[in-house]
Chains A and B, each alone.
Chain A
Amino acid sequence: MNLDVITDHLDYFLVGAYPHGPLGGAALTLILSVLSALVSGVLGFILGIALAVTRGFAQTSLLLVLSFFRAIPVIMLIFWTYFMLPIVFGINVPGIATVVIALSLIGGAYLAHSVYAGIRSLRQGQWQAAAALGLRPWQVLRYVILPQALPIMTPSFINQWVALIKDTSLAYVIGVGELSFVATQVSNREMVYPTEIFLFVALLYYAICSTLEFFANRVARRYQQAT
């Protein structure tokens, strides 16, 4: 084991070429993760509610779109947005935005189903009791259904976000300099230390994912105690 290879390139692993060049490494992985988590969360939330309140044709179309995004590989969607959009619409999408869009669409599609399942898991009587009091449909959702469904959804959200953090590594295919990308660069340059480098990278991913899990669980537990 030669740990010098890690310490020598520590800055590069953590922040890439920053401040002399673009931000990269673990910092960029974090930024990609946080952005995709936020967008996919909002998307999943809205689409999940839409699934729960629509019927018939609207619901079927929504389900079709969602199943499409759940079925295609992330890497394909990244390629697509990166190479197809400029050709089809004549707009240039920056690499980072491409990754965030792709991960959010796919994450959102998964989360929509979790949100839908969470809402569906409540008894029909809760909807009826709230409606019988004169609450309007959006008030029923806001004050009665969602406060009960959200704690049920938390594990799915954590799972999805952990998967998403790891999927940011696919950004390397379009040259976005996140953690896996810089690790590959260093490994190629140093040639003989892949074990050390990728073990370190694995540890970094583990640290990021378990930090998320730790805080998410704490928030969830506090929320559940309050109810």
Chain B
Amino acid sequence: MIEIDQVSKWYGSTQVLAECSTRVAKGEVVVICGPSGSGKSTLIKLVNGLESFQSGRITVDGVFVDAPETDLPKLRSRVGMVFQNFELFPHLSVRDNLTLAQIKVLGRSKKEARERGLSLLERVGLQAYAKQYPSQLSGGQQQRVAIARALCMDPICMLFDEPTSALDPEMVNEVLDVMIELAREGMTMMCVTHEMGFAREVADRVIFIDQGVIVEDCHRDDFFGDVAARSERAQQFLSSILSH
């Protein structure tokens, strides 16, 4: 589904990603972790072309992300993305947040879009909030709406960029629950997250990035189970986030 092949990226003269390669098969859930500034968010934003890269190639469902002939907006409409800061549109009600792209991008009728929006809102447990504005919702609720907004487009895969990092601790689980359910239903997912409980529960593979290099890319049982076989950096990272 997603193939990342020898991808490098520079900001000016600083290299932020160095020859990263990995692939995500259909239905697979991959968790990407690593220290802050390691390039993990950048990597995930390359997949739907929100950031550019200088060398290597990325394909999503066979489409080259950086090819000039690629219709990037069309590709993006098939790839769902959830952001750290939710990024709901504050001037639109929850319902209109869900229907905007369905109507303008997919060409669905207003009625069809609203029905689809409402059914997904129900799925994330927020059907009562359709007429509210994002600012009236808690962080956890906003992120659940953001997930519903992405799902409205019937994506072939989902990208999550630290979806719980901006949340108060008591709201993390409501978002993770939605993500776990999604993973169990067979959605192809790439998740940048530090929630190792989530990784243990549903991830097929765990990728560990440090300083722009993919250091580990292995099955979750190997990643968490066989700690001694992991690189020194990965061990340090794991002990620092699992010690509490």
Contact = CB atoms under 8 A, between A and B. Distances in A.
Q: Do A and B bind each other?
A: yes
Interface of A: 123, 125-126, 128-136, 139, 143-144, 147-148, 227
Given A128-B45, A143-B104, 14 more contacts: A126-B87, A128-B83, A129-B81, A129-B83, A132-B79, A132-B81, A133-B150, A133-B153, A134-B76, A134-B77, A134-B106, A135-B105, A144-B100, A227-B90
B48 A132 contact: yes
A126 B74 CA distance: 18
Contacts of A135: 73, 100-101, 104-105
Interface in B75-99: 76-81, 83, 85, 87-91
Among B78, B89, B100, B146, max chain A CB count under 10 A is at B89
10 contacts: A125-B83, A126-B87, A128-B45, A129-B81, A131-B50, A133-B101, A133-B149, A134-B73, A134-B105, A227-B133
A123 B85 contact: yes
Contact of B76 (A126, A131, A144, A148): A131
B73 A129 contact: no
A227 B89 CA distance: 10
Interface residues of B, number: 28
A148 B73 contact: no
A130 B73 contact: no
Contacts of A125: 83, 85, 87
Contacts of B146: 129
Nearest to A137: B73
Contacts of A147: 91
Nearest to A148: B91
A210 B149 CA distance: 44
Contacts of B83: 125, 128-129, 132
A142 to B, nearest CB: 9
A130 B83 CA distance: 11
A130 B50 contact: no
- The listed residue with most A CB atoms (<10 A of its CB), out of B77, B101, B105, is B101
Contacts of A130: 89
Interface string B53-81: 00000000000000000000110111111
A133 B77 contact: yes
Nearest to A226: B91
Contact of A133 (B90, B91, B100, B133): B100
Contact of A134 (B74, B87, B133): B74
B87 A143 contact: no
A225 to B, nearest CB: 12
Contacts of B77: 133-134
A87 B204 CA distance: 77
Sorted nearest first, the 9 A-B pairs with minimum C-beta distance are: A134-B77, A129-B87, A133-B101, A132-B81, A134-B105, A227-B91, A125-B87, A134-B76, A147-B91
A128 B105 CA distance: 15
B73 A144 contact: no
A147 B90 CA distance: 10
Given A131-B73, A134-B74, A139 B104 contact: yes
A136 B150 CA distance: 16
B87 A128 contact: yes
Contacts of A134: 73-74, 76-78, 101, 105-106, 153
